[in-house]
Amino acid sequence: MAPKSCALCQNSKAILRRPKTGQHICKHCFFTVFETEVHNTIIQAHLFKPGDRVAIGASGGKDSTVLAYVMKTLNDRYQYGLNLFLLSVDEGITGYRDDSLETVKRNQEQYDMPLKIVSYEELYGWTMDRVVSAIGKKNNCTFCGVFRRQALDRGASGLGVDQIVTGHNADDIAETVLMNIMRGDIGRLGRCTAICTQGEDMIRRSKPFKYAYEKEIVMYAYFKKLDYFSTECIYSPDAYRGHARAFLKDLEAARPSAIIDIIHSGEAFELKEEVRATQKSQQTCKRCGYMSSNDLCKACSLLESLERGMSTAITDKGRRKLEAQGLTPDNMRTIPYFHPSSSVDAEAES
Ligand code: SF4
Ligand code: ZN
Ligand code: ZN
């Protein structure tokens, strides 16, 4: 049988079957449609304005590596006028994060973007290795998600960026919709499909890959020969999310549009006023100055549970480093923060 020609350009030989649409297309057309769809997502959601300083949350994994590459490509091609940075979190996971950070350091050279790394050790005095040795492998992702959220905030403040973009893809969002339905968490269900999260005092955080399929991100990285790290975290991720993921993969195998359909279903939910109104009023954390709905922010109360008697949530070394960036407990209250109740999102970001 003669090789099929590309369904889009009709000129070249089709060498791949596009997971999202099932079309047989050539490599060049795949790059074009993938990049153009991300560009359209960015334009339709008005994600950026010229001159914005944007941090790319970079883990060295496929999603954030492709995001860094595509952001650079689109910024040049369409002249977005963005200043791009890489922002990484070092959770302190031996044999996983130390290796993936080496990948990010190479990406820094390859993409010519400044890189900032913030570590749990310096900020909190705890690595995830130590957290897991203290609490075991049960709730580790909850700790890690809360710590990451604040770490990214502090890193973003240090870089003086206007917003953070993360590599959350369509599969991650569809999974989160399913998890929130299965947990009956209607408040989060209403928020989890938002392409941007932003509130008062909160740095804008957005997901340019909201409609990009994970399979296509992997394919893009493969055909572009991008340098990324593919090992999973050694502290097995959230088991419940794993079930949602397996279920979603089954649905996708039966009908590829399931992923987008679930996202659209999530978007279509309308929250009743009383569900929306359950958010508590904000104050600042008594220990670290972060915005919080209680006396202590989530990170500080987790730290308290880890180390009773520890007098400050942030280590002396971490504090000195923050002060060197002009961040003191007094002005930290102006540091942008992410709403602590959206930790389901944070779990997906490993
Ligand atoms: Fe942290 Fe992700 Fe590992 Fe969980 S799976 S411990 S959230 S890096
Ligand atoms: Zn083609
Ligand atoms: Zn705190």
Question: Residue 200 Cα, ligand 3 centroid: separation in angstroms?
Answer: 18
Q: What sign for the dihedral angle of Cα 226, 228, 71, 105?
A: negative
Residue 192 Cβ inside 6 Å of ligand 1? The answer reads no
Q: What is the mean pLDDT of the chain?
A: 85
User: What pLDDT is recorded for position 63?
Assistant: 97
**Candidates 59, 64, 88, 91: which one to mutate for ligand 1, based on the most atoms within 8 Å of Cβ?**
91
Atom of ligand 1 nearest to the CA of 346: 7
pLDDT exceeds 90 at position 312: no
pLDDT in tens, 255-303: 999 999 999 999 988 766 665 555 556 788 898 888 788 889 889 999 9
Phi, psi of 116 (to 5 degrees): -120, 135
pLDDT exceeds 50 at position 311: no
**More confident position, 42 or 234:** 42
- Give the SS3 label for residue 196: strand
Contact at 8 Å (CB) between 31 and 223?
yes
pLDDT in tens, 25-68: 999 999 999 999 999 999 999 999 999 999 999 999 999 999 99
pLDDT band at 191 (very low <50, low <70, confident <90, very high): confident
| Length of the chain as a residue count | 350
Upper half-sphere CA count for residue 41 (Cβ side, 13 Å)? 22
DSSP designation for 5: B
User: What pLDDT is recorded for position 244?
Assistant: 92
User: What pLDDT is recorded for position 200?
Assistant: 55
pLDDT exceeds 70 at position 249: yes
Residue 141 Cβ inside 6 Å of ligand 1? The answer reads yes
Q: For helices 128-135 and 140-159, what crossing angle results, to 10°?
A: 160
Atom of ligand 1 nearest to the CA of 350: 2
Question: Residue 8 Cα, ligand 2 centroid: separation in angstroms?
Answer: 5
User: What pLDDT is recorded for position 101?
Assistant: 95
CA nearest ligand 1 atom 4, residue:
141
Residue 128 Cβ inside 6 Å of ligand 1? The answer reads yes
Contact at 8 Å (CB) between 89 and 119?
yes
CA–CA dist 240, 244 (Å, integer): 7
CA–CA dist 54, 37 (Å, integer): 20
CA nearest ligand 1 atom 6, residue:
141
pLDDT in tens, 125-152: 999 999 998 888 878 888 999 999 899 9
Question: Residue 150 Cα, ligand 1 centroid: separation in angstroms?
Answer: 15
pLDDT exceeds 90 at position 240: no
Domains annotated for the chain, with CATH where assigned, are 31-277 (3.40.50.620), 295-337 (no CATH)
